[in-house]
Amino acid sequence: MTEKRLTVILYGCDRNLWRGGSLAIRVSDLFASGGPRLLYQGKSDESTLELRLELPFDAGQVYGVTFSAPKHRPAWQLIRRRDFIRPVDNVEGDDLVLRLMLVPDSPGTSDLAQGFDRLRQAASPFVGRHGVDKSTFLTLDVAAQMACLNIEAKLRETIFDGAPLLTFVRGVHHIAVDRAFVFFDTGLKARMPRSSEFAGAPGHPAPGNLADLPGHPDSWKHTRFAEGNVQLSFSRDAMPLPGDDAATMVHSADVDIDLGRGLAHAREWFENNVFKPGHKTNQALVYGLLYAQGILPRYVLDPAADTTARAMPRLRTIAPPPTRARAARKTVRRAPRRARRTKPK
């Protein structure tokens, strides 16, 4: 059995180091016989720590690790043997660095409007000619605004055939609280079956509240991560891009981010540790998961008071009072001392 080492760095939702006090640590074997089995539990007051795992990784094992704090959603990660294999040379290592985020149960969302402006500055197709305008964005539920920014970031950082998936987006039809309905270039769907990083998945029926959209039965899910993979479900047939001439043909697509509930053997662990009462699945959880994947949506959440390095009050240097101007002194110069005369002997 080879020892594996995890270096874990914990952050608050403003992307600054965690300073919110003690964290409860739990490590579980998700595929143990009879259901998930707790292997380790402990506490730490540090934002950076090292875990040494003397555990087997030779038979498809998946271990779940969580870091919990009061009034926060737990930072969590699924650990597999595949996570220790370096993609550059396809060689297995013994070390893994995780950057995980704890998000408050009710984080502040004061930066969402500025997040939209950043999409516009970056010329994102989500807010382009056939995308969402700012007035529409501001009327969306907060969860839908977060979903818009989260999904845009996920498509921006997911590479397909050497290009970000975002470059295939031709427009946005609707943003819901957990998904986006977008229009993709027709060339994307034709290339999906040949991709080694996407696998077939069940599609979705027509959305009941959007009568002008079809069903999306042809679906593929990214397989890079154990959780938090993007799923693209396409319409069966292509259609003209709404608001454009008929020459631009697109596929309608239902885009969402899977949080790992599809891992049947891990469902119990997810329900008890991640989606437990008071920690329902929402876009704040997706935001933290994207950060663990190295993906940065173009907004930040507001942390709870005194829980991160930036949110904590800092000592302020108090400048000394200004010195009073000294009264001008009149300088009297003494005449140079005369050389002494030598007395005659």
Sequential DSSP letters for 300-319: -PBPPTTSBTTTS----PPP
CA 194, CA 238: separation in Å to the nearest integer? 19
Phi then psi for residue 212, to 5 deg, are: -90, 5
| Residue partners of 141: CB distance under 8 A and separation at least 6 | 177
pLDDT number for residue 280: 44
pLDDT number for residue 46: 93
Q: Directed axis angle between helix 112-121 and helix 142-157, to 10°? A: 40
- Which domains occur in the chain, in start order? 1-109+262-313 (2.60.40.1120), 123-258 (no CATH)
Q: Which residues of 2-19 are buried (b: 16+ CB within 10 A; e: fewer)?
A: eebebebebbbbbbbebb
How would you class 73 by CB atoms within 10 Å of its CB: exposed for 0-12, middle for 13-18, buried for 19 or more? Answer: buried
Phi then psi for residue 250, to 5 deg, are: -140, 165
The answer, as to whether pTM is greater than 0.85, is no
pLDDT number for residue 195: 93
Phi then psi for residue 286, to 5 deg, are: -65, -40
CB 136 within 8 A of CB 330: no
CA 85, CA 7: separation in Å to the nearest integer? 16
Give average pLDDT by consecutive 10-residue segment, the chain, 345 residues: 89 94 93 88 94 89 92 90 86 93 92 97 94 96 96 97 96 94 96 93 89 93 89 96 82 89 58 58 86 95 87 57 55 54 51
Helix (H) or strand (E) holding 231: strand 229-234
Residue with tokens 């149960």: 105
